[in-house]
Structure 1
């Protein structure tokens, strides 16, 4: 797999990503090997995906904190989790990002995860421990990505997908970078606005309008991290003005655009999710074994 070093300014972990041919539709993965026990407190930035953090370390795993509650080990982070921070980083971790349209099938639910961080065992039951054991025993990241792909694929095919209309609306929200209007989406799928909003929220755990705000924020945050000015980002991302951008960034992160621009969490994205960030070239390496 392409294996990267740590991105500039990060310095905490080596990052591995699967080859494009190994990626499962609706999901993306990255493996992290922390170079030493790191007890830093890192703010995690909201992303338009449901994320699984599978702890592969020996002993105590990382701690995730949001809204006054803490979780340790393997967790599922729902959409828009609020003020989310992680610390106690050590060992290895597999992060899986799931498209919300796929998350319901993989996890058995998506609606109850919005705004929350829950233990993977609470979602998968005993299967969580079995998955951790298989992944921990694997000899390489290549093998781990293959195992994770098998687990995700089996779950995707075992459960019904979301309504085609809901899946289409979500894709339109993503492809438009959050600029798609709910009325227009409803017209395209032949539903009323009320019905689309209700089905969208029931199946993805978020309203179309909130989803569009999240996607637009994600695009803006990555432009900020790529070094673009706040004024330019506001115009590029479809905000009314710079003040509007400031309010939205504050709403999703509690931080100013200036703080988000240097957020360590966003600094790893070019390495962990090649090609996902606008305004930068993806960082890749040769095919090596960890």
Structure 2
């Protein structure tokens, strides 16, 4: 049986912390469709092939071509992707950069939307330029230049929100919202409001998503569910089972065989269950209180 996707990764990481790229080409079996498994990043698909990817949500609505989706796309196993003749550059984007890159607040990314609705006519120009390239290296370079330019044009998130997000990543989604609020010196209500507006999810939901993401990647790696639950911040194995069912619409045993997860180690080496480069680069985050004091001098 042919693989669902032919996957290419860049020879080097991007120069943008929080951004990872991969190239996808239909390997001959993608037309059957595959379930989207939620991930704690913003997903951007830049389509340029002869065929178009088709994204179908729970209501049966379809989107074709280049799309963008907020963190947690596919909750409940409700989103599927299929296509023939598909070629695209996929970007996993930290939610901390999403507002700058996309030009709209992350909270406005309700599910998956056509990229043209966000970037307008620039989407067609990007498709044309990608289609004119002759190698994946050129495509990755073009995408990176585009992202760097857009990041430079806009203000990023509050340092307190960035701190809270990175603490959630480093802690594997096991920190309480009250703890995060105390650390940044905000009320729980203020943290909830600012975090949701700038990341696209409330902090508790974001923590649950990160915890789920770590867990399913351990299941794919062959670890037993009992150990994953015990070490992943779940009360017990039943708690893990409920979380996997809620996020992925299937069981821990079945989710480990999902094609969507099977390509992660190929497409995103070292990044599959980390939530993006900002997790790997912030194992010891600097307190936002310290950062604000330093920048004020």
Number of the residue aligned with 2:54: 63
* Counterpart position of 1:145: 140
Give the drift of 1:90: 2.1
Partner of 1:285: none
The change in CA–CA distance for 1:237 and 1:10 in structure 2 (over 3 A counts) is farther
Look up the SS of the partner of 1:86 in the other structure.
Answer: strand
* Contact preservation (8 Å) 2:2, 2:28: no
The answer to whether residue 24 in structure 2 is matched with residue 32 in structure 1 is yes
Residue correspondences, number: 268
Alpha-carbon shift at residue 23 of structure 1 (Å): 4.3
- State the alpha-carbon separation in 2 of the partners of residues 136 and 148 from structure 1: 12
Q: Could you list the runs of 5+ residues in structure 2 that have no partner in the other structure?
A: 274-297
> Which stretches in structure 1 are left out of the alignment for 5+ residues?
1-8, 279-290
Q: Tell me the SS of whatever aligns to 1:76.
A: strand
Distance in 1 between the 2:5 and 2:197 partners? 37
1:15–1:271 contact (8 Å) kept in structure 2: yes
CA RMSD of aligned residues (A): 1.5
1:25-77 CA-to-partner distances (Å, cap 9, x unmatched) read: 1211000122337411100100000101111112x401101122110111112
Please list, as runs of the form range in 1=range in 2, the aligned pairs for 1:1-290 lying within 5 A after superposition.
Answer: 11-36=3-28, 38-58=30-50, 60-68=51-59, 69-81=61-73, 82=75, 83-109=78-104, 110-114=106-110, 116-277=111-272
Contact 2:100 2:154 in 1 (8 A): yes
Aligned position for 2:293: none
Q: CA deviation at 1:19?
A: 2.7
- Per mean C-alpha deviation after superposition, the further-off stretch among 14-23 and 72-81 is 14-23
With 23-32 and 204-213 compared, the bigger mean Cα shift is at: 23-32
In structure 2, relative to structure 1, the CA distance for the partners of 1:21 and 1:264 (3 Å cut) is closer
TM-score normalised according to structure 2 size: 0.87
Deviates more, 1:221-230 or 1:37-46: 37-46
Tell me if structure 2 keeps the 8 A contact 1:13–1:35: yes
Residues 221, 261 of structure 1: 8 Å contact kept: yes
